[in-house]
Structure 1
Amino acid sequence: MKAGYQAFGADITPYSVGLVKAEKGFVVPLASDPSYQESIVSICRENEIKLLVPGSEPELFELTKNVADLESQGILVIANEHALIKNCRDKWHMFLMFKEKGVPCPESALPEDYEQFKGRHGFPILLKQRTGSGSRNLFIARNEQDYAFYSKRLKEEKIPFILQEYIGKGEDEYTVGVVCRKDKSVVGSITVHRLLSGLSSKQKTSVGGATVEISTGISQGVIEDNQTIQTQCEDYAKKLGVTGPANFQGRLVNGLFVVFELNPRFSGTTPFRAGVGFNDPDLVIRDRLGEEVKKPKFNTGIIVLRSLENVFIPPEKINKIKVIPSEST
């Protein structure tokens, strides 16, 4: 790799493109398995791996619980502090954190406060699963009938959810990446002006003659160095105590960037940013290693689109992937 890293990968299935492209791939137990952390530690020991970059939310949550223990074994975890990650796992806790820290966000409520919330904000109302990512179980209720249908479905499936005010326009939606140092100072930021079409469009409808739309977890868009938005997001990152990567999702409403969600990890737009010269993982890693890092120059105006890719893999490559057994097998 250009940056001088050797990249190893781990996943819960051998049928993962990342494991084939990595220097070496491993199949590990679920993050919730009691043997998960030990499996990761054994891989790091056997392969002299010094840096650990959690990818998914469950892994991020588990590994940041035990940062001191891992670092005592010579393994540096490249992630934000556990308290921030914990708050961002639950969208209700995230909303309360935003309100406490002064980060502009849509008004939200729990289902038991539906009547009061509806009375204040009217329709449309968003129903959002409290945990998870990728816009799973995210719905627009245009009226009472929609709300009854979606809320019943979520309750029957025992999926906790929140209500959220619908704000702004789809054309004003952005994803903003902010990188902070370990000391919580900001390295820099970058904006993707989202295109809500194709893979990025989840639901589009009309309420009272106005277009209402929500996006999927798959970002596409135009790379920008938008100082109006980025200055605000950098301020939010400082208020929230970010010590690594942060991905703010929101809309610009009358000059104010209103945040739907914060992903305190390397997100799906990380490859976009690296591709135009803003390499989040490299910046955070070098800061953790004690190097001086500054905001890099990056290309703007580039349109980044997503697609599915067909990858043809000989079976012997899959068979070479080492499987670390879990305690439950």
Structure 2
Amino acid sequence: MNILFTSAGRRNYLVQYFKKTIGDSGTIHVANSTPYSTAMKYGDQTVITPLISDKKYIPFLLEYCLQHQIDILIPLFDMDLPVLSKNKKRFEKIGVTVIVASEEVIRICNDKWESFKFLQWNGFRTPLTFLSIEEAKQAIWKGVIRFPVILKPRWGAGSLSVYEAENEEEMELFYDKIKRKVHSRKVLDALLHNEDNCVIIQQKLNGQEYGLDIINDLHGNHQTTIVKIKHAMRSGETDFAETVDEPRLEYAGMRLGRTLGHIANLDVDAFILEGVPYILEMNGRFGGGYPFSHIAGTNLPEAIVRWVKGERIKESLLKGKVGVLGYKEILIQEETDQASILITNLGSGEKQ
């Protein structure tokens, strides 16, 4: 069993999880468009790829998969997902299973405006969202929402270019600033269908924030939802979290998994506001919060490997303990002078 991670970045923990899963029965390959990726330090083999936006990107990966007899390809970056989803059948023809959902699912997840429409249409609570300053102003004047509001790129990752506006002047300033930044990001060139509507203005929620790992099998059937309360964030990623028993969000996760029909992991940001669950954002991949589910006992890497082999899994494989608290710790690797992320388990209340 040979596994290739693309756009691996800092996901060294995922490389190690899968390496432990396959043991000596295969090799882990780690790919990135730059050598400055901490995850590459942990692969059995590494390779530098063309940029995702480069026409040579998919042919390069296909050739690499053939040459190294890759069985599973796992993308770890939002902008990688639509490209690989579109070409998924080309990989299947050479015997490679790409762990990515359909083009439609990825389009909904990567486009925050499409996410908003999907969630509203399917009866999920979500922050009110607007595509223009004029629409947002009208909603504020009518008392539908109020300041502060959140502005962010319609297509984006992490917390890049996310601002909170306290008044109309700030809202207009941040809107123009984000728009300029989005247009300067070359990796998005192929993904921007409407450059005039590339910023969203969103109602701010003042509730408790949670992270969900909504796990489906490789046919889109919901398996489980792991809920974590977020105690601290850094650069858009969960830094300190605890697995919790929260039936309202577990039910929302089950509904969302069944409605969307993604495969493997759906990384979701959610809130509970006045006792009501709200879905904020969806990422159709392993997210930065997955390690907190993993250290609690959920083993999605092993489930993926078994599913690809056509094996059944035990229900316990995807069930984690409640009350497990963990944090991410940055370590400096002397030989490369690069930062590495360590996931530490602080213990469990074992409230299963």
**TM over 0.5: same fold?**
yes
Deviation at 1:303, TM superposition (A): 1.9
State the one-letter code of the partner of 1:162: I
Deviation at 1:267, TM superposition (A): 0.9
Q: Where does 1:206-221 land on structure 2 (aligned, <5 Å)?
A: 216-221=236-241
Q: Is the 8 A contact 1:176 1:248 kept in 2?
A: yes
2:161 paired with 1:144: no
- The structure with higher relative contact order (CA 8 Å, sep 6+) is 1
Aligned pair partner of 1:305 in 318, 327, 346: 327
| 1:239-281 superposed Cα distances (whole Å, 9 cap, x missing partner) | 1122221111010123321011011111112222222221223
- 1:95 aligns to what SS in structure 2? helix
The whole-number CA distance in structure 2 between the counterparts of 1:3 and 1:153 is 45
Deviation at 1:314, TM superposition (A): 6.3
Distance 1:225 1:45, change over 3 A: farther
State the one-letter code of the partner of 1:300: V
Q: Is the 8 A contact 1:245 1:284 kept in 2?
A: no
2:189 matched to which residue of 1? none
- 2:139 aligns to what SS in structure 1? helix
The whole-number CA distance in structure 2 between the counterparts of 1:61 and 1:72 is 18
2:219 paired with 1:183: yes
2:296 paired with 1:276: yes
Deviation at 1:131, TM superposition (A): 0.9
Q: Is the 8 A contact 2:215 2:222 kept in 1?
A: yes
1:117 matched to which residue of 2? 139
Q: Where does 1:6-21 land on structure 2 (aligned, <5 Å)?
A: 6-21=27-42
Aligned pair partner of 1:2 in 8, 20, 26: 20
Measured on the aligned residues, the alpha-carbon RMSD in Å equals 2.0
Task: Give unpaired runs (5+ residues) of structure 2.
Answer: 1-18, 184-197, 338-352
2:170 paired with 1:134: no
2:247 matched to which residue of 1? 227
| 1:152-193 superposed Cα distances (whole Å, 9 cap, x missing partner) | 322444552111111232xx1100101102332211121110
The whole-number CA distance in structure 1 between the counterparts of 2:71 and 2:182 is 40
- 2:328 aligns to what SS in structure 1? coil
Distance 1:9 1:292, change over 3 A: same
The whole-number CA distance in structure 1 between the counterparts of 2:109 and 2:53 is 18
Aligned pair partner of 1:174 in 210, 213, 223: 210
Q: Is the 8 A contact 1:101 1:240 kept in 2?
A: no
2:52 paired with 1:31: yes
Distance 1:201 1:245, change over 3 A: closer
Q: Is the 8 A contact 2:149 2:165 kept in 1?
A: yes
Deviation at 1:299, TM superposition (A): 3.0
- 1:45 aligns to what SS in structure 2? helix
Which segment is superposed worse, 147-156 or 65-74? 147-156
The whole-number CA distance in structure 1 between the counterparts of 2:234 and 2:32 is 28
2:263 matched to which residue of 1? 243
State the one-letter code of the partner of 1:53: I
Aligned pair partner of 1:97 in 81, 98, 118: 118
The whole-number CA distance in structure 1 between the counterparts of 2:157 and 2:28 is 25
The whole-number CA distance in structure 1 between the counterparts of 2:294 and 2:225 is 12
- 2:331 aligns to what SS in structure 1? coil
The whole-number CA distance in structure 1 between the counterparts of 2:304 and 2:247 is 21
2:14 matched to which residue of 1? none
Q: Is the 8 A contact 2:165 2:174 kept in 1?
A: yes
- 2:257 aligns to what SS in structure 1? helix
The whole-number CA distance in structure 1 between the counterparts of 2:291 and 2:237 is 15
- 1:132 aligns to what SS in structure 2? coil
Q: Is the 8 A contact 2:153 2:182 kept in 1?
A: no
Distance 1:290 1:35, change over 3 A: same
The whole-number CA distance in structure 1 between the counterparts of 2:267 and 2:64 is 29
Deviation at 1:283, TM superposition (A): 2.0
Q: Is the 8 A contact 2:152 2:178 kept in 1?
A: no
Distance 1:284 1:102, change over 3 A: farther
Distance 1:37 1:157, change over 3 A: closer
| 1:59-86 superposed Cα distances (whole Å, 9 cap, x missing partner) | 2211110111110111111122221111
Provide the aligned length of Structure 1 versus Structure 2: 297
1:209 matched to which residue of 2? none
Q: Percent identity?
A: 24
- 1:313 aligns to what SS in structure 2? coil
Q: Is the 8 A contact 1:126 1:138 kept in 2?
A: yes
- 1:150 aligns to what SS in structure 2? helix
| 1:107-164 superposed Cα distances (whole Å, 9 cap, x missing partner) | 1111241221222212121111111111111111122232233223224445521111
| 1:21-66 superposed Cα distances (whole Å, 9 cap, x missing partner) | 1111100011111111111122212221111111111222111101
- 2:250 aligns to what SS in structure 1? helix
Aligned pair partner of 1:161 in 184, 194, 199: 199
